Structure 1
Amino acid sequence: MRGAMLRPGAVAALVLCVLAGLAQAVSIANPWNGQPLWWLQLLSMGGLVWLLERCATPRQAALRGWTFAFAWLCGTFWWLYISMHTYGGLPALLTLLAVGGLAAALALIYAWVCGAFKVLAPVHPALRAIVFAFSWLLAELARGQWFTGFPWGAGGYAQLDGLALFARYVGVYGVGWIASLVAACVVLRQWWCLLLVALLAVAASAVTLPPSDPAASLSVTLLQGNIPQDEKFELGAGVPVALQWYGEQLGRAATPLVVAPETAIPMLPQQLPAGYWPSLLQRFASGEQSALVGVPLGNARDGYLNAVVGLQPGQPQPYEYAKHHLVPFGEFIPPLFKWFTEMMNIPLGDFNRGAVGQASLPVAGQRLAPNICYEDLFGEELGARFIDPATAPTIFVNVSNIGWFGDSLAIDQHLSISRMRTLEFERPMLRATNTGATAIIDYRGHVTLALPRLTRGALVGEVEGRGLNAASGWRITPYAWWVARCGLWPLWGLGLLTWALAWVARRRR
C-alpha cells in the first residue's frame, strides 16, 4: 500500500493538492492587493473534488484532503510566524514547527471528512455533490468550534464579491457550503443543480427584506496610533508615546463618538501616571461626546480583562465590555502549555473571559456593540445580541491590534472578516486598529472610508446605523434570527443528517 501511494501518479496528485490548497489561500486575500477572489476559490474546490473522485480508497482520499488543507491553512495564516518569532522571540525552527503543527492538526479534520466522503459517496453524481458539500460544511464547522475554534480563512470569506448574497440567510458557513456545492456540480457536470443554485441566487437578490429606516447618521473619529509592536508595552518606548498621542486625540476629537483601538491605553488604570485616568473620565463626563477606549482592566486578586471602556456624559460608572473569545497562548494559556508561552516575550498572556451577548452602548440613538480583535470572526457569538430585535445592535465596533502580524495579509483578511459580518447582520462596522485596517464599513459590506495601513492618524467620517423600520419595528436578518436562537446547530444538524442518510443508503447498496 505504501508503495502504491508513492507511485509517480500518486505523487503528482499530492502536488496538485498542494497547488489547489495554495490557490484556496490566495482566494481568501490575494498577495497583490489583498482582495478576495471568489472564482479562484471555486476553481480550488473544484480541483479538490476532481482529485477525490480519482481516489481508489478512503485512505487515499484522506491523504489528499489533508495535503490540500495543510497547504491552504499554511498559506492562509503563515503570518503567525511574525507574532511568535519576530515579536514573541520564539526560536525560528520552533516557530515553524508551531505554525506547521497547527495547520497539520487542523488539516486532520479535513482528512477525516474527505475519507468519510469516499466511504459515503453515493453512486449518483448529483447526490455525491450534495454529500461532498455537506461533508465540507461539517469540516468547516468543526474547525470553527472545536478546541475554542480557529475558523480564520474559511472558504466563504473568498465569496465577498461572489456568493455572499446568501450571507443574510445562511452566514459565512452556509456561503462556503454553497460554494463547495457549485464546485462539485461543475466537476460532476450536474448542470441542473447549478441551475437551481442560480435560481436561488436570483431569488435571494430579488426578495428583499422590509426596508430598514436608517437611524440618524453618527459622526465618528477612529484612531490609529501605529505604535510599533516591539515597543507597544515598553515603559521607556511605546507606552509614553501611546499615552501622549491617544490622550491628545481623545481630548481633541470633535465628533459625537471617538474610538481608540485594543489596548490603546497599554496599562491598567491604576498603573497610569497620576491624574491621567481621572482626567480622561472628566473629559467625557459632561457635554455630548462619547468614547470607546481599549484598555486592560482588573487586578491580581480578581484577574484581568482585555476590555473596552465606554466613556459618556451622565453615567455614574463607565461602560465596560470584556473580551469573551480569547486567543490561545496570547490571552490565555491552555492546560499543559505554560512552558510554551514562557518561551515567548508576549505580555498580558492570561485573561478572564467576558460573557457572550454583553449589553450594547447607547450613543446618540444608536446601540454600539463592541468586539475585540478576532472576536468578529465568530458571527454566531455576535449573533447572541440579536435574540431581542428591540435591543439588537445598530452598529458593530471592532477594536484590534493586528500589529502582532506586521504588514501582512492578516490586515486584509481581517477586513474581509468584518465585511462578512456586516453582510450577515446588515449592520455597519467601525474598525479602530493600531496599524490597520482602520475603516468604516457600511451595512452592505462596502468600505466607505479607511486610513492607510501603518500610519498614525484619525479617520473622521459618518456611519449610518441600521435596524429600525417605521412600519414593522426593529428588523434583523434571517441569519441573525436563527443564529441568535440556535447557534450553528441547524447547520450541524443538516450536515449530520446528510451523512446519516448517505450511510443508510450505502448499507442498502
Structure 2
Amino acid sequence: MRRGLERAFAAAAGLLHAQSFSHPALHALQPAALALLAWRVALAPHAASAAWLGGLFGFGWLAGGVWWLFVSMHRYGGMPAWLAALAVAALCAALSLYLAAAMAAHVALVKRSRLWPPLVFAAAWLLAELARATIFTGFPWLASGYAHADGPLGRLAPWIGVYGIGFVSALLAATLGHLWARRGWRSAAIAAALLVLLGSLAGLLPNTRFTEPSQTLSISLLQGNVPQDEKFSAEHLPQTLDWYVNALLDAEGEFVITPETAVPLLPQQLPEGWWQDLERQLARHGKSALVGVPLGSFEEGYTNSALGLVDGRTVYRYDKHHLVPFGEFIPPGFRWFVDLMRMPLGDFSRGPLNAPSLEVRGERIAPNICYEDLFGEELAARFADPARAPTIFANISNIAWFGETVAVPQHLQISRLRALEFERPMVRATNTGATVVINHHGQVTHALEPHTRGTLTAPVQGRTGLTPYARWMSAWGLWPLVAGALAVLGLAGLWRRRADTERPAS
C-alpha cells in the first residue's frame, strides 16, 4: 500500500474496532479489526512506520468510541462546538500515543529475535492498554476485553480479567495478521476458520464456578430520567425530589437504590427536616435504601457520595474514590478548561479505596459510582478479606451528560465484565440507563428501557467465595500483568541484542 492509503486503512480499522463495543453481537469485530492492524504492522519496514499505524488505529478506535464526550462538553458544558470537538480529538490523539509506542517497540524488538512475533505483539498491546488504564488516573474505556462479554473469551474473565482477555485476543489476532503477512491470505483464512471452530466448541463447555449462592434480596432500582439541563435547575428540583421520595416509598423491593446524585443538593441545602422525614417514612414502610447525594462543605471539601438508610437511620456512607478528570476534579494547570464549562460541583475529594460494604438483610452491598466500575483492580481491593467481601455490587450512575448515545450500552458491557470477573451480581440504578440487574454469569436478567422514567424490581441472589481473578488481583493488583508483558518484551530485546552482537561485521 502507499503510505497515505495505509495510514487511512489503519484509522478505518480502528473505527471498525470501536464498533465491537456497541453491541454484544459484534464482539468478533474486535479481533478481526485487530488482525488488520497486526497484518500491516508485520509488514512495516521500520518502527516509525509501525508507530504511525498504531497511533492512527488508536485514534480511530477512540474517536469512534468516545465521541459522545463532545455532547457533555458542548451541549451540557456550554463549550463552543469547535473547542469541544478539538478537546475530544486531542484526548484521543494523546491516548493513542500509548499504542503508537507499543507498535514501534514491537517492530523494533521482533527483528532478528527468535521470540514468536505474535507473542511480542500481544505483550506490547497489553502494556499499551495498562498504560492507558493507569497513567494520569487512567481512562480504560473501550479496553479490548470488554467486547467479549458474550464471546467465548469471556469465559476467561474469572481467571485473568478484562486485560488478560485483551492479551489473548491480541495474541490470536496477531497470529492471523502474521500468517497473512508472511504466508498469504489463504493461510490466515484457514487459521481463522480453525479459531472460529475452536471458539464455537468452547462455547459448549460448562462454565467453571468459583462462588456459592448466599441469600436472595428483593431490590428496586430507580431511574428518574431527569434531563441533565434540568437536574440542577431550581425550577425543576421540587418535582425531581418529589418523584424520588414517592418512588422510594412506593417501590416493591425491600432494598431501594437511587441513581448517582438523585438528590442533587447538599443535605444542608434541603428543606429543614427533609432527610429526617425520609428516614421515618422508609422505616414506616419497612424499607432500606441507598441514596446518591453530594456531601460536604466549602471548608471540608465535597464528595460524590451515597448514603445507606437502614431501620430508619442513616448508617452508612460511601464516597466515590476514582474521580472523573474535569468532571469531578481539576487536574493541575487545567482550571481554565473547566472555567469554559458550566458544570456544578466540579472539584470533589476522594473517598477511601477499600470501602466497607453496606449490610442489608445478611447481604454485603458494595456501591460504586458511575465509571468506578471501569476499574476492576480497585474493586478487587474489597476482596482482600474473603469474610468481608461484597456479595452484591451496586453501581449508581448518571450518564445523562452524554445524551442518547452509545455510551449507555458501552457502560453496560463494562458492568457485565465486572460481574464475570468476580462472579457477583451487579445491579445498576442510573438516571437515564442502563438500569439493569446483571447476574453472576454476566447476563442481564431484568432491565428498564433507557431514557424512560420508572422503577425496576427484581430478586437478586448474592454470592460468596472468590474467583482466581479476585484472589490475585486483590493481592497484587495489575503488577503480574505488567511484569509478564515486560518479561516478554525484555526477552525479545535480549535475543535481538544477542543477534546483533553475533552478526558478522561487513
Fold shared per TM-score above 0.5: yes
How far does residue 248 in structure 1 lie from its aligned partner after superposition? 0.8
Cα distance in 1 for residues equivalent to 2:93 and 2:444: 34
Query: Which residue pairs with 2:351 in the alignment?
Result: 354
One of 457, 462, 478 as aligned partner of 1:488: 478
Change (3 A) 1:377 1:201: farther
One of 107, 111, 120 as aligned partner of 2:96: 107
Would the aligned equivalents of 2:244 and 2:262 in 1 still touch at CA under 8 Å?
A: yes
Which aligned pairs between 1:455-470 and structure 2 lie closer than 5 A? 455-467=452-464
**Which residue identity lines up with residue 257 of structure 1 in the other structure?**
F
Query: Which residue pairs with 1:298 in the alignment?
Result: 296
How far does residue 254 in structure 1 lie from its aligned partner after superposition? 3.1
Query: Which residue pairs with 1:25 in the alignment?
Result: 18
TM-score w.r.t. the length of structure 1 is 0.92
Query: Which residue pairs with 2:38 in the alignment?
Result: 49
Runs of 4+ in structure 1 off by over 6 angstroms are 190-205
Would the aligned equivalents of 2:252 and 2:457 in 1 still touch at CA under 8 Å?
A: no
How far does residue 220 in structure 1 lie from its aligned partner after superposition? 1.0
Deviations 1:118-174 (A, max 9, x none): 100155797100000010000000000000000001111111122111011010000
Which aligned pairs between 1:436-451 and structure 2 lie closer than 5 A? 436-451=433-448
Change (3 A) 1:255 1:359: same
How far does residue 390 in structure 1 lie from its aligned partner after superposition? 1.3
Instruction: Indicate yes or no: 2:72 matched with 1:83.
Output: yes
Deviations 1:434-463 (A, max 9, x none): 000000000001100110011000011111
**Which residue identity lines up with residue 73 of structure 1 in the other structure?**
L
Would the aligned equivalents of 1:36 and 1:157 in 2 still touch at CA under 8 Å?
A: no
Query: Which residue pairs with 1:453 in the alignment?
Result: 450
Would the aligned equivalents of 2:113 and 2:492 in 1 still touch at CA under 8 Å?
A: no
Query: Which residue pairs with 2:186 in the alignment?
Result: none
Instruction: Indicate yes or no: 2:123 matched with 1:134.
Output: yes
SS of residue in 2 equivalent to 1:357: coil
Instruction: Indicate yes or no: 2:368 matched with 1:371.
Output: yes
Query: Which residue pairs with 1:242 in the alignment?
Result: 240
Cα distance in 2 for residues equivalent to 1:219 and 1:347: 34
Where in structure 1 are there 5+ consecutive unaligned residues? 1-7, 468-474
How far does residue 232 in structure 1 lie from its aligned partner after superposition? 0.4
Deviations 1:465-507 (A, max 9, x none): 111xxxxxxx100000000010000000001111110110000
Change (3 A) 1:487 1:41: same
One of 9, 28, 37 as aligned partner of 1:16: 9
Cα distance in 1 for residues equivalent to 2:78 and 2:198: 53
Change (3 A) 1:408 1:122: same
Where in structure 2 are there 5+ consecutive unaligned residues? 180-188, 500-506
Would the aligned equivalents of 1:87 and 1:230 in 2 still touch at CA under 8 Å?
A: yes
One of 135, 140, 148 as aligned partner of 1:146: 135
Deviations 1:217-254 (A, max 9, x none): 111110000011001001112x2221010011112223
Change (3 A) 1:124 1:336: closer
Would the aligned equivalents of 1:126 and 1:193 in 2 still touch at CA under 8 Å?
A: no
Change (3 A) 1:191 1:380: farther
How far does residue 314 in structure 1 lie from its aligned partner after superposition? 6.7
How far does residue 256 in structure 1 lie from its aligned partner after superposition? 1.0
SS of residue in 2 equivalent to 1:443: coil
Would the aligned equivalents of 2:159 and 2:467 in 1 still touch at CA under 8 Å?
A: yes
Query: Which residue pairs with 2:183 in the alignment?
Result: none
Which aligned pairs between 1:414-433 and structure 2 lie closer than 5 A? 414-433=411-430
How far does residue 284 in structure 1 lie from its aligned partner after superposition? 3.3
Would the aligned equivalents of 2:213 and 2:461 in 1 still touch at CA under 8 Å?
A: yes
Query: Which residue pairs with 1:155 in the alignment?
Result: 144
Instruction: Indicate yes or no: 2:491 matched with 1:501.
Output: yes
**Which residue identity lines up with residue 94 of structure 1 in the other structure?**
L
**Which residue identity lines up with residue 343 of structure 1 in the other structure?**
L
Would the aligned equivalents of 1:126 and 1:185 in 2 still touch at CA under 8 Å?
A: no
Cα distance in 1 for residues equivalent to 2:192 and 2:494: 23
Which aligned pairs between 1:58-77 and structure 2 lie closer than 5 A? 58-77=47-66
Would the aligned equivalents of 2:176 and 2:192 in 1 still touch at CA under 8 Å?
A: no
Cα distance in 2 for residues equivalent to 1:197 and 1:452: 33
Change (3 A) 1:180 1:242: same
Cα distance in 2 for residues equivalent to 1:496 and 1:426: 29
SS of residue in 2 equivalent to 1:141: helix
Among all aligned residue pairs of Structure 1 and Structure 2, give the percentage whose two residues are the same amino acid. 50
How far does residue 114 in structure 1 lie from its aligned partner after superposition? 0.6
SS of residue in 2 equivalent to 1:304: strand
Cα distance in 1 for residues equivalent to 2:44 and 2:111: 14
Change (3 A) 1:196 1:40: closer
Change (3 A) 1:201 1:302: farther
Which aligned pairs between 1:184-199 and structure 2 lie closer than 5 A? 184-189=174-179
Instruction: Indicate yes or no: 2:386 matched with 1:393.
Output: no
Cα distance in 2 for residues equivalent to 1:170 and 1:213: 20
How far does residue 196 in structure 1 lie from its aligned partner after superposition? 10
Cα distance in 2 for residues equivalent to 1:199 and 1:358: 41
How far does residue 202 in structure 1 lie from its aligned partner after superposition? 7.4
How far does residue 276 in structure 1 lie from its aligned partner after superposition? 1.3
Query: Which residue pairs with 1:471 in the alignment?
Result: none
Would the aligned equivalents of 2:217 and 2:461 in 1 still touch at CA under 8 Å?
A: yes
How far does residue 274 in structure 1 lie from its aligned partner after superposition? 2.1
SS of residue in 2 equivalent to 1:465: strand
CA RMSD of aligned residues (A): 2.2
Deviations 1:264-287 (A, max 9, x none): 000001101122111112223466
Cα distance in 1 for residues equivalent to 2:374 and 2:141: 7
Query: Which residue pairs with 2:218 in the alignment?
Result: 219
SS of residue in 1 equivalent to 2:20: helix
Query: Which residue pairs with 1:5 in the alignment?
Result: none
Aligned length: 489
Cα distance in 1 for residues equivalent to 2:260 and 2:430: 7
